[in-house]
């Protein structure tokens, strides 16, 4: 005889509720979701790798292409930052490509550009020039290859978070888009490690002749892997819905979220698509301006100065060549750890608190470096302030800026709006990075003090103007801007 009391008691009811929750959770295919996120995020790894590989080759390029041609610090800064011109172009065209050809195909194109750039930058003499005989033409050819890679970076930087944001459920979107930043930082760390491995134990003349070429060529391996793996992932359901391919969109949503949730999400997507005219300022200018300023502040705080010129900064503190490369690698490890902090906390604490705390930490770090530079004291204190600065950025503005850019724009204008924000980001990046050598020639204290001031202003901007997006669906964010507009 059945024990009726046992089946109706509080323990049985609690067990039944737990079982129901587990059943609901099982409807989401978390492994599949993470798999396609991981593939898309390899674009972030390439973004980071391409950004950081220049740090190991910077002095060799200066010796081979700048000093031998008797060119000044402006051309040096422009050459080191030339990929950013491509990044601006890639950012500008990303909206067109993402809307015209889809998110997936845009990423495949980025992978091809990465591959061409890595091989071309490694051997810019190919076909037209002689190795060991630098000319202005060779300098231009090198910059063209770097610009091609920059276009790939610009495309990937816009489309990778867009892709992840459009496939991710609202409750884990921040974490998954932040994972793209983790891959960016991992790419930087791998590049630092590869640079260190190539240069370790070698003479500077060997690095200046051959080593820097290996550094650029090494980027071709992850570029090829990225392109091949992209063939295995689907297009985003939101893009498919925009193209009236609802059956395909529903299949992907079902595979990720389960049948019931998929139908609900598709209904919300169709509602926003039908309700919007699709004009860029349909939801007012505020959302566009906020997206642009998020991007500009992310660069004006000076992060890429620390990333591009890290070995040189550490060498100026008295470290030898190998030691500076090792300290740069340690900084990369710290960056990875604090990016994980952002991934773990972004969907718990929200976007705004992390950004404000990060801005304060960056300000402390940069004002500290500025003070040390003003007193002409270079040593362990400078290293500590740089690590405080970069760690603060990696737990806040590094990943969270991309999270917000992927989620604040409404469905119908997302491709173009993200393109504008990303193009503004790369333009700001180019301005800050290319002016760094000349600014440092003027005053290190003023240079780092400027970045500290920008960190303070970024905190005020977030506090006053940026809305919290934690836990909101992309369609709910659209309602927020409709109210404001």
Predicted pLDDT of residue 458 = 94
Residues of the chain with pLDDT under 50: 1-2, 4-8, 10-26, 276-277
**Residue 407: exposure state from Cβ atoms within 10 A (0-12, 13-18, ≥19):** buried
Report helix, strand or coil for 299. Answer: helix
Burial class (CB within 10 angstroms; exposed 0-12, middle 13-18, buried 19+) of 357:
middle
Domain boundaries, the chain: 29-233+276-477
Residue 162: how many other CB atoms lie within 10 Å: 32
Q: What is the pLDDT of residue 20?
A: 43
**Residue 427: what pLDDT?**
85
Predicted pLDDT at 310: 57
CB 49 within 8 A of CB 110: no
Per-residue CA distances from 416 to 201, 288, 297, 332, 408 (Å) = 48, 10, 20, 33, 13
* CA distance readout (Å), 64 to 70, 82, 148, 212: 10, 16, 21, 10
Predicted pLDDT of residue 449: 92
Q: Give the pLDDT of residue 16.
A: 46
Concatenated DSSP letters for 318-359? T--HHHHHHHHHHHHHHHHHHHHHHHHHHHHH-HHHHHHHHH
Domain 29-233+276-477: top CATH class = mainly alpha
Q: What is the pLDDT of residue 6?
A: 46
Residue 448: both structure tokens together? 């780092």
CA distance 444 to 484: 43
DSSP 3-state assignment of 391? helix
Phi-psi sector, 168: left (phi>0), alpha (psi -120 to 50), beta? beta
pLDDT at residue number 319? 54
219-247 b/e (C-beta count within 10 Å ≥ 16 → b): bbebbeebbebbeebbbbbbbbbbeeeee
CB 250 within 8 A of CB 266: yes
Return the half-sphere exposure (C-beta side, CA atoms, 13 A cut-off) of residue 82: 22
Quote the pLDDT of residue 116.
95
Hunting for tokens 């919300």 — which residue is that? Answer: 268
180 Cβ contact list (under 8 Å, min separation 6): 40, 41, 43, 44, 160, 161, 164, 399, 402
Q: What is the pLDDT of residue 5?
A: 46
């Amino acid at each position: 005889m059945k024990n009726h009391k046992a089946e109706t008691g509080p323990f049985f009811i609690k067990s039944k509720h737990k079982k129901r929750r587990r059943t609901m959770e099982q409807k989401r295919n978390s492994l599949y979701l993470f798999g396609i996120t991981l593939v898309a995020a390899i674009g972030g790894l390439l973004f980071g790798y391409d950004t950081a590989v220049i740090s190991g080759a910077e002095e060799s390029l200066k010796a081979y292409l700048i000093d031998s041609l008797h060119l000044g610090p402006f051309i040096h800064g422009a050459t080191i930052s030339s990929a950013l011109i491509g990044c601006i172009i890639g950012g500008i065209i990303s909206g067109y490509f993402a809307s015209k050809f889809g998110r997936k195909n845009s990423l495949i194109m980025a992978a091809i550009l990465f591959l061409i750039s890595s091989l071309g930058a490694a051997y810019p003499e190919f076909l037209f020039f002689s190795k060991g005989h630098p000319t202005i033409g060779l300098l231009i050819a090198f910059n063209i290859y770097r610009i091609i890679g920059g276009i790939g970076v610009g495309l990937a930087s816009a489309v990778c978070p867009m892709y992840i944001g459009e496939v991710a459920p609202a409750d884990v979107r921040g974490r998954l888009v932040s994972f793209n930043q983790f891959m960016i930082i991992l790419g930087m760390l791998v590049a630092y490690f590869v640079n260190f491995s190539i240069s370790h134990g070698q003479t500077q003349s060997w690095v200046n002749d051959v080593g820097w070429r290996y550094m650029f060529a090494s980027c071709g391996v992850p570029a090829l892997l990225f392109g091949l793996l992209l063939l295995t992932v689907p297009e985003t359901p939101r893009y498919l819905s925009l193209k009236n391919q609802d059956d395909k969109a529903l299949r992907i949503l079902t595979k990720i979220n389960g049948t019931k949730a998929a139908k609900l999400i598709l209904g919300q997507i169709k509602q926003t698509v039908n309700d919007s005219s699709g004009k860029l300022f349909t939801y007012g200018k505020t959302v566009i301006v906020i997206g642009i300023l998020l991007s500009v502040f992310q660069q004006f705080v000076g992060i890429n100065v620390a990333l591009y010129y890290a070995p040189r900064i550490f060498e100026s503190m008295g470290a030898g060549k190998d030691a500076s490369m090792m300290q740069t690698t340690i900084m990369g490890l710290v960056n990875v750890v604090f990016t994980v902090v952002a991934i773990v906390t972004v969907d718990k604490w929200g976007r705004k608190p992390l950004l404000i705390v990060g801005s304060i930490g960056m300000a402390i770090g940069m004002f500290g470096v500025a003070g040390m530079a003003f007193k002409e004291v270079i040593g362990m204190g400078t290293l500590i302030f740089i690590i405080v600065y970069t760690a603060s950025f990696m737990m806040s503005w590094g990943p969270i800026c991309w999270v917000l850019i992927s989620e604040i724009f409404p469905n119908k204008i997302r491709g173009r709006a993200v393109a504008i924000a990303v193009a503004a980001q790369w333009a700001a990046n180019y301005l800050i990075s290319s002016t760094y050598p000349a600014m440092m020639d003027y005053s290190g204290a003023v240079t780092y003090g400027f970045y500290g001031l920008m960190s303070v202003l970024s905190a005020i901007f977030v506090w006053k103007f940026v809305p919290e997006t934690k836990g909101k669906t992309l369609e709910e964010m659209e309602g927020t801007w409709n109210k404001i507009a």
